[in-house]
Each structure stands twice: as C-alpha cells, then as structure tokens.
Amino acid sequence: MALRDAAQRDRTPVALMRGVGRAAAGADARLVAMGGAGSLRTAAGVDLVDTPGFPEVAKPESLGFRAALHDLVDSAPADLVWTVVSPPPAIEIDSPRTGAYRTADDDLLIDAEGASRISVADLAVAVVDEVENPKHPRRRFAVGY
C-alpha cells in the first residue's frame, strides 16, 4: 500500500489492510490491493522473503505485507470481496507492453530465462483484467511472465 498521509505511515500493514477492508466493505466496494513478491512461494517451497540473499532492506516491508495478507485470509469480514495482486520482484519500467502474462495462486513465477519479472504496462493490464473480469475473489494471485 502506498501512503501519502504522514499520520498513517506508522500504522502496521495489518492495521492498514484492516482499515481499508472495513472501508471497502462498508461502501459495498471490492478491495483490490497490490502486494509484494516477498510472500510468494519459491520452487524450494519457502516464501521468497525467507530465502538466503533476500535484501535485508526489503524484509520489514515484505514481512509486514505477509502478515497483512495472512490476516486478510484468516479474518476478512464475510461481506468483503477482496483480491491481492503480487507482482514479481523485477518490475521493468522501460519494457514494452507485451499483452501476455501468466498468473499463479501463491507461487513466484519464473520465465524461460530464469527471471521473475514483468513490465509496468503488463502489470497494469493484469490488474485491470482482474478488476473487469474477477477470477481471484477472496484470494491472492501472482502475476509475471
């Protein structure tokens, strides 16, 4: 979640997700949130954030988001329709839109070259596709090439 309000920056990701979830449920709106790659499961069966070499600087945010995701899965109000999109670690700003991407439930997607990536343009398309044609209600999905 991106925060512009300085007063909200000290709230935990769990508290923030709960607050946004309550607001969405109260407005009879669907919650579509962008997560991170750290909570995605690797081929070794562990979350990316728990693998050796995961950047220390990114761990607090990744662990906070993972806690918020687990709280959402376990405790979201029954009337809240939510979806969390988890992009790969590499989001390429200057790469073109290809119009093609893959999705997975909780697994880190790796392309044919062994990279976990997507362009900003294709990530945006994946989010809009999910909003317009919901395929992942009340769950998280990964997106990538």
Which CATH number do you get for residue 107? 3.40.50.720
User: Which of 99, 107, 108 lies closest to 126, judged by CA?
Assistant: 99
Looking at the domain assignment, is residue 2 inside a domain?
no
Over range 12-27, report the average pLDDT.
90
Residue range 64-76, pLDDT digits in tens: 999 999 999 999 9
Residue whose structure tokens are 């991170």:
36
Domain span holding position 55 = 13-144
Name the domain count of the chain: 1
Looking at the domain assignment, is residue 3 inside a domain?
no
Among 3-17, 31-45, 126-140, where is mean pLDDT lowest? 3-17
Looking at the domain assignment, is residue 82 inside a domain?
yes
Residue range 66-115, pLDDT digits in tens: 999 999 999 999 999 999 999 999 999 999 999 899 999 999 999 999 99
Residue 107 gets which letter from DSSP?
B
- Asked whether the predicted pLDDT for residue 2 surpasses 70, the reply is no
Determine the Cα–Cα distance for residues 102 and 125; give it in Å rounded to an integer.
12
pLDDT for position 9:
52
Looking at the domain assignment, is residue 1 inside a domain?
no
